[in-house]
């Protein structure tokens, strides 16, 4: 009898221990379940029909739990469709907790206010299972096109409307592009005008210095050659080169002939039709032909021939120079200068 009592006592004790263990496990699981936070959010609570927004499902949980996210296929509710479903992303935060996030790209083709019920997730810890749910959401879908009825299907595109032509519609473009073309034309004209006047020297505000006559330039150069007396220093070739260059430059300026690029015979031929006396032509011929012999045939002329060549160069310039016709103002200035010089001389004589 005592043995039977002992066995019953042991059985009762085992049942109590099992019950106590079960209660402790349920308390621990309930504590973990209370530490799980599920939150659902929308980018916006309002979209146009056919528009797309993101629904984010976020779970904050302790480590060691297994969370099964809902297995949505192509819809969340009857009127809300899933366009794209992202992968579950996990981030570990402080105090041994994890944050799991999954993103759903959703849309709707039915206007009105749509209710999204709490999204349920399955929680597994050891052999026990439980359910956690998110908050509920609502989404307003607006149809901005009053004449559009999704139930009628896709409609054909309307043909273009034949609007009457109005000149007022193009006047603005005519004024704009006409003004641009006019401005460009004025700029081009101004550029060409300024370039032409700059080339001709008419843009300077300073009165340009009068251009020296050809014979003045030639006589000044011949005076320099005469003063250098190159032939007396065995520089005969250089002497004739300077003399012929001076004469050629004079012919270019005086008669507008390209004498610097012509041979002696070509110079004679080009001057033959001009009003030049035979004596002047003979003097020019003597200078150029003797210079050719010295420069190209290494001819060594006599000292007198050098002097004759220089003298003939002087004669040719003086006999063919263009006499300047002075204006009335220049004649008046010359007359006043002569009178002043005469008065000064008379005063000194007294």
Both tokens of residue 46? 């309002």
Ranges assigned E (strand) in the chain: 37-42, 46-48, 52-62, 66-68, 81-85, 89-93, 97-107, 112-116, 120-125, 128-133, 137-142
Q: Is 101 exposed, middle or buried (0-12, 13-18, 19+ CB in 10 A)?
A: middle
pLDDT at 7 over 70: no
pLDDT at residue 238, rounded to an integer: 92
Burial of 338 (0-12, 13-18, 19+ CB in 10 A): exposed
| pLDDT, greater one: 213 or 326 | 213
For position 26, what pLDDT does the model report? 46
For residues 258 and 267, give the distance between their C-alpha atoms in angstroms, rounded to a whole number.
9
Q: Which residues contact 324 (CB under 8 A, 6 or more apart)?
A: 213
> Rounded CA gap, 253 and 216, in Å?
11
Residue 8 predicted with pLDDT over 70: no
According to DSSP, the β-strands at 81-85 and 52-62 are unpaired
pLDDT class for 231, splitting at 50, 70, 90?
confident
pLDDT for 241: 92
Tell me, what's the pLDDT at 242? 92
Q: What confidence score (pLDDT) does residue 326 get?
A: 56
Q: For the chain, which residues make up each domain, given as ranges?
A: 34-143, 214-320
- Report the Cα–Cα distance between both ends of the chain, in Å, rounded: 187
Q: What is the pLDDT of residues 130-184, one digit of tens each?
A: 888 889 988 999 887 766 566 666 667 777 887 777 777 777 888 888 889 999 9
Over the stretch 299-336, which tens digit does the pLDDT of each residue have? 888 888 888 989 999 999 999 888 765 556 655 666 67
Q: Is 3.30.465.10 the CATH classification of the domain at 34-143?
A: no
Q: Is the pTM of this model over 0.95?
A: no
The residue-averaged pLDDT of 27-51 equals: 74
Q: What is the mean pLDDT of the chain?
A: 79
pLDDT confidence tier of residue 223, bands split at 50, 70 and 90: very high
pLDDT per residue as tens digits for the range 86-109: 888 888 887 778 888 989 999 998
Give per-residue pLDDT as tens, 269-279.
888 888 888 89
Contact status, residue 60 vs residue 32, Cβ threshold 8 Å: no
């Amino acid at each position: 009898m005592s043995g039977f009592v002992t066995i019953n006592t042991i059985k009762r004790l085992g049942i109590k221990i099992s019950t106590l263990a079960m209660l402790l496990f349920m308390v621990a699981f309930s504590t973990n379940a209370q530490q799980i936070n599920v939150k659902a959010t929308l980018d916006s609570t309002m979209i146009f029909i056919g528009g797309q927004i993101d629904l984010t499902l976020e779970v904050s949980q302790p480590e060691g739990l297994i969370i099964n996210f809902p297995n949505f296929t192509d819809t969340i509710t009857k009127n809300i469709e899933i366009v794209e479903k992202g992968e579950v992303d996990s981030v570990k935060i402080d105090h041994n907790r994890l944050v799991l996030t999954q993103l759903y790209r959703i849309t709707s083709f039915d206007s009105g206010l749509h209710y999204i019920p709490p999204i349920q997730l399955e929680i597994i810890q050891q052999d026990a299972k439980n359910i956690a749910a998110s908050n509920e959401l609502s989404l307003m879908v607006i149809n901005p096109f009053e004449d559009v009825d999704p139930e009628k299907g896709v409609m054909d595109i309307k043909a273009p409307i034949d609007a009457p032509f109005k000149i007022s519609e193009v006047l603005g473009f005519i004024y704009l592009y006409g003004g641009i073309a006019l401005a460009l034309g004025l700029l081009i004209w101004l550029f060409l005008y300024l370039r032409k006047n700059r080339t001709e020297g008419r843009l300077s505000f300073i009165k340009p210095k009068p251009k020296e006559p050809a014979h003045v330039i030639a006589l000044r150069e011949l005076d320099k050659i005469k003063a250098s007396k190159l032939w007396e220093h065995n520089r005969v070739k250089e002497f004739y080169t300077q003399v012929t260059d001076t004469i050629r430059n004079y012919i270019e300026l005086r008669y507008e002939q390209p004498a610097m690029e012509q041979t002696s015979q070509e110079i004679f031929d080009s001057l033959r039709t001009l009003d030049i006396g035979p004596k002047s032509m003979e003097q020019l011929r003597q200078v150029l032909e003797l210079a050719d012999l010295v420069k190209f045939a290494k001819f060594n002329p006599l000292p007198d021939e050098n002097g004759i060549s220089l003298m003939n160069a002087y004669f040719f310039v003086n006999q063919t120079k263009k006499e300047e016709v002075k204006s009335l103002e220049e004649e008046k200035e010359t007359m006043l200068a002569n009178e002043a010089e005469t008065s000064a001389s008379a005063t000194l004589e007294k």
